Amino acid sequence: MLWRHLLGYLPVNIAQALAGFGSIYLLTRLLTPADYGLYSLAFAVMTLFHSLLFTWLEGAMARFYARAEAKNTLQSHLTSAYNTLAVLVLAGGALSGLIITFFPLPNDFKSILGFALGAAILRAALKLTLEARRAAREVQRYSLIEFFHIMIGFSLGMLLVIATDLRAAGPFAGMAVAAGIALLFDLPHLLRRAKGGHGSVSDFKKFAAYGLPISMSLALALAMSSADRFLIAGYLDTASVGIYTAGYNLANRTLDIIFIWASMAAAPLTIAALEHNGFEDARAMARKAFGLMALATFPAATGLALVSGPLATVMTGPAFRDQAAQIIPWIALAGVMNGIMTYYFHEAFTLAKRTGVMAAVMAFPALLNIVLNIILLPRFGLQGAVIATVIAYFFGMLASAIIGLRYFPLPLPFLTAAKTLLACAFMAVGIVVIPWPQSWTAFVLLFVQAGLGGVLYGIAAIILNLADCRGYLKTFIGRLRKRAATVTS
């Protein structure tokens, strides 16, 4: 079931990859480093705004959906969630107006931020609907809506950057329009599903008690990943923010897409297993989820480090390339630690409904990251921000593992991790020992090295049977043969 759900969410992750890397490729060529820096700062504020105001409700929607199904209270669950959303949308609109009007920000940044916060509000309404679909294991509908939302938003955003004077505000305008269109199609279906339900204050209190600590935890996680950009702007300039963000996003976005993909499939199944079947089934599903995460993210991080030079040359504009190539390997390492922390060890807190503890755990690494940036940025420039990020994520992952497992003892598959790292080492040696021709273009070098790395890792994964891939491969081949036999007969 996990692999089937994983494949079902594949279109969404293809769309996220196309939009994420397409944005880096185009915006680092269409915008100056300073403009790209302003875009990056606005994106960070937008994400923090969404996390603090809306994410707690999305988390509660997902966590309590299966329980509402089991107790036949789904209509009331949805009604309470959408009533709360309506209040939050009004509050978000008012807060956005206050930020734009009264905060002492440059006028060009205020304009960009206005579009970003508007997009965040529309995206929040859509995200709640999508979380209901995901919690209901409606994989196909979720994937269809999210795929078109992402692609329309990306395409329209880039068109606005090229054809209008919006510049760095263009991508946010595209996001807002796409979210509005998707809402028109999907929100009525969920509201009909909620018809007849009765919202309650007790549901709101339950949502808030569970979800608000998640929002705080995510805000602290964002402080780890984004506070350095504001500090870079303060100690250096917005052009340095743009250069740093280009390298950071190339590495981190790659890994984040994979982790989110695995979590999309695994988290609802793990929660459903716990609510319907009990503790041991939930642990078994979590073990499978870790195997899938390791199978995909460990080689991705290794590959990013190996091809950082040609990757930066192909994917970013000339003003970004040199420093982006230096940043990518270290952010790849930090990205793996962040993903394991966020999408695996944090599940212990959500499954045990101890999200308040999760928020408290995140406070230390978030503060550590800020302090280290203040110390290291003036001395080492952008490399100081990279060092601070790696150290902060290491301690964040360690603290989440030690404390989280006290509340819900997730499996610690050290053997799975070791076997996956062995396969990565086999891939890395194969890439490093080859004397690659100096005359090859960056695109050719990237394509060949990535292709060879994938083949080498695939061979090692099958030999070591990572995540039971031999069993799934046999099943897949068997189905193909059965279909072929049916067609020929």
How much is the pTM? Answer: 0.80
Averaged over 147-168, what is the pLDDT?
94
Averaged over 362-379, what is the pLDDT?
92
| Residue 350: Cβ-neighbour burial (10 angstroms; 0-12, 13-18, 19+) | buried
Could you report the per-residue pLDDT of 272-316, keeping only the tens digit for each? 788 777 788 888 888 888 888 898 899 999 999 999 999 999 999
Q: 204-218, 260-274, 458-472: which range is least confident on average?
A: 260-274
What's the DSSP call for residue 235?
H
- The three-class DSSP label of residue 295 is helix
Confidence class of residue 6 from pLDDT cuts 50, 70 and 90? low
Could you report the per-residue pLDDT of 69-123, keeping only the tens digit for each? 777 878 888 888 888 889 999 999 999 999 999 888 888 899 999 999 999 999 9
Contact yes or no for 173/119 (Cβ under 8 A) = yes
H or E element, residue 309: helix 308-315
Tokens of 97: 């107006």
Could you report the per-residue pLDDT of 285-297, keeping only the tens digit for each? 888 888 888 988 9
Tokens of 56: 């707690």
- Tell the residue number behind the tokens 């309404």, with chain if given: 125
- Tell the residue number behind the tokens 């420039």, with chain if given: 381
Q: How far is Cα of residue 90 from the mean position of the Cα atoms in its chain?
A: 26
Confidence class of residue 7 from pLDDT cuts 50, 70 and 90? low
Q: Give CA–CA dist 409/265, Å, rounded.
A: 21
Percent over 70 (pLDDT), the chain: 97
Tell me, what's the pLDDT at 4? 62
Tell me, what's the pLDDT at 140? 80
Q: Give CA–CA dist 136/145, Å, rounded.
A: 15
Tell me, what's the pLDDT at 35? 94
**Residues near 94 by Cβ (< 8 Å), separated by ≥ 6?**
none
Tokens of 432: 């490093």
Written in H, E and C, the secondary structure of 81-114 is: HHHHHHHHHHHHHHHHHHHHHHCCCCHHHHHHHH
